[in-house]
Structure 1
Amino acid sequence: MASDTLNGLTVAILITDGFEQVEMTEPRKALDLAGAETQIVSPKDGAVRAWNFTEWGDQFRVDRLLNEARPDEYDALLLPGGVINPDTLRTIPAAVAFAKGFFDASKPVASICHGPWTIIEAGAARGRRLTSWPSLRTDLENAGADWVDEQVVVDLNLVTSRMPDDIPAFNRAVTTLFSGACGGVRPA
């Protein structure tokens, strides 16, 4: 059911080829249904191709080229996972700077699966309590984060989740955080 919880909110979805399809499409659908405007921002022009669990998935039109987008044009950021996507993004200085801009401005960020690799590169993991795909645990702990194995974790303006199975809980937490209901409050 659609609502107007996020009317007026513009969300950047930072991705490139190899993002896990369901980790972009399902949160995007939830955001759109809640009234947000979502835009795919990518270093790749034209379209990006998803990874669908074990093989290449669908292609999605890029709304804004990364080199033309600025964090101050958006209210929130979504970082889908998949292995290929965040591993590529974390090697692109403009992608890391784009993500860092949201943290520097204390804007809400949502990340699932391997998405926190970009958070590490942006220097925003230290001191945070978060979750991810289990193989990122050591990377996140080495970056100064408190990694926990939970379905969804909210820490101030950041919500993280582990995997596709967690998407329903992730979507609820993202919608709540992005609406401002949890902003600035560190859960006990």
Structure 2
Amino acid sequence: MLYFLWMLIHGGYKVGLHWKDMPGHEEKETCNKCGITESMEHILTKCDAPGQQAVWNLASELWKLKTGADLPPPTLGQIMACAAIKRKDAGTTRLFRILVSESAHLIWRLRNERVINAKDPASNWEITNRWCKTINNRLGIDCAMTNAVKYGSKAIDKKLVLSTWKNVLKNEDRLPKDWTWETGVLVGVG
């Protein structure tokens, strides 16, 4: 994830005009859905191709469980700065960072499959499942990273993990107070 954000911030991805004078790849300069020159801003926040809007809607749905408010689709600047943006508490801040960075990265991967690998656009069902898998994988990593025996001083504080995922888990009211060692804990969206 850090690599994705680093490349995004430093303009390292080949989009738009990069393809203009590349024989056999000129069609990649323009978004085949919207008809405009591609840019990372267009891909991540404005494109009408399947993926972008569906992913941000899912992120907003999870954010609403956490905060009670919608998460408007972030701007390119907010995506690039997501690691520096602070919210009301550490758990909410951390969930925001996870949602924005993971969602933007999924949108990028969906675009690459469509444009670079020439695959058919993903269905809404597939997009939903892939987004849920992505966020649930992050939840699983968080749980695993609370293991102080295995990770020592690099372990994530259990309280921070519990705070990050509070109010967004399926059947949360039936989970034990410390669910970080439980298997099958999933986010409540999708």
Give the alignment's TM-score, normalised by structure 2: 0.26
Give the structure with the higher percent strand: 1
Larger radius of gyration: 2
Give the structure with the higher percent helix: 2
Give the alignment's TM-score, normalised by structure 1: 0.26
